[in-house]
Amino acid sequence: MTTTIALAGKGGVGKTTVAAMIIKYLAQNQTGSILAIDADPSSNLNMVLGLDLEWTVGDIREDMLEQVKSSLAQGGAAMGTLPGGVNKRDYLEYQIRSSLAEGSRFDLIAMGRGEGPGCYCAVNHNLREVIDSLSRHYAYVIIDNEAGMEHLSRRTTRDVQHLFIVSDPTQRGLVAAQRIAEMRKELDINVENAYLIVNRLRGDMPAELKAFTEKLDIPLLGTIPADEELAEFEFSGKPLVELGDESPVYRSVEKMMGRTLK
């Protein structure tokens, strides 16, 4: 059975950092393969994982549509096929498998750029089928999502066992987290568990923020401290998965994952 973990939160709160620490934890403490899905066009999950990325799902989608348009303009290609009679779904499956960035314990798919003008409904349906089919071969799937939750059900039809909503230690961040928590109930997929994580906390949480978290619709799973070593890694471009096990950022995520996957 595949365990799917999704991360959400407003932009700039450190979702990608938390995703990297979760993947580091799984690689070191759990058996089974791991698939990371970078579903945020503005994030750089491959960089924090130390993986090269040459081809995204967005690139594949646009390339396929250009082939279809070119062939139709020349009077060829039926609506369900590409030049040469290749089925669109078979083409997408081959290209997506070829685009996997492979690590020693985890692989990565990047969704890449958003959709351009035109109709993408059929293409997105095929993409979702292909990615879901691929995901079934992994023990864990980690989805680093866009700022909101509205696009998650367009990426997967899989149930999400654990949704981590990440916030910074501000009231604005927590209000955004609450809105995302409410949005999860409107998705076409089932979210079994949802938790709040407060990131980049300096010292103890102020009493006002602590009281605010207690009123939210999701339980506080834990906090992650602000850390200078992490900032140095990000500035230098070193993969965050190379942070030492003694890192306070990693130790915080390790404790939360131990409680989540117990």
Q: Residues with Cβ < 8 Å from 73, sequence gap 6 or more?
A: none
8 strand-pairing partners: 165
> Phi/psi at 232 (nearest 5 deg)?
-65, -40
The per-residue pLDDT for 121 is 62
> Rounded to an integer, what distance in angstroms lies between the CA atom of residue 166 and that of residue 164?
6
Q: Residue 37 pairs with which residues in a beta bridge?
A: 109, 143
Residue 172: Cβ-neighbour burial (10 angstroms; 0-12, 13-18, 19+): exposed
CA nearest to 101, candidates 57, 146, 157: 57
Please report, in tens digits, the pLDDT of each residue of the chain (262 residues total). 899 999 999 888 999 999 999 999 999 999 999 999 998 877 689 999 999 988 888 888 888 877 777 766 665 555 556 666 677 788 888 898 998 999 989 999 998 866 655 555 666 777 888 888 899 999 999 999 877 666 676 667 678 999 999 999 998 999 999 999 988 888 888 899 999 999 999 999 999 999 999 999 899 999 999 999 998 998 898 999 999 999 999 999 999 999 999 8
Q: In the Cβ-directed half-sphere of 133, how many Cα atoms lie within 13 Å?
A: 13
In order of their start, the domains of the chain are 3-54+101-118+135-260 (3.40.50.300)
Q: What is the DSSP string of 167-201?
A: E-SSHHHHHHHHHHHHHGGGSSS-EEEEEEEEEEE
Nearest-angstrom CA–CA distance, 169 and 206? 9
Q: Is the dihedral of CA 190, 62, 140, 238 positive or negative?
A: negative
- The CA distance from 191 to 184, in Å, is 7
Helices (H), the chain: 15-29, 45-49, 57-73, 88-99, 121-135, 152-155, 171-183, 207-214, 228-236, 248-260
User: How many whole angstroms separate alpha carbon 215 and alpha carbon 134?
Assistant: 39
pLDDT at 146: 79
**What kind and span of H or E run contains 107?**
strand 106-110
How much is the pLDDT for 199? 97
What does the pLDDT read at residue 115? 61
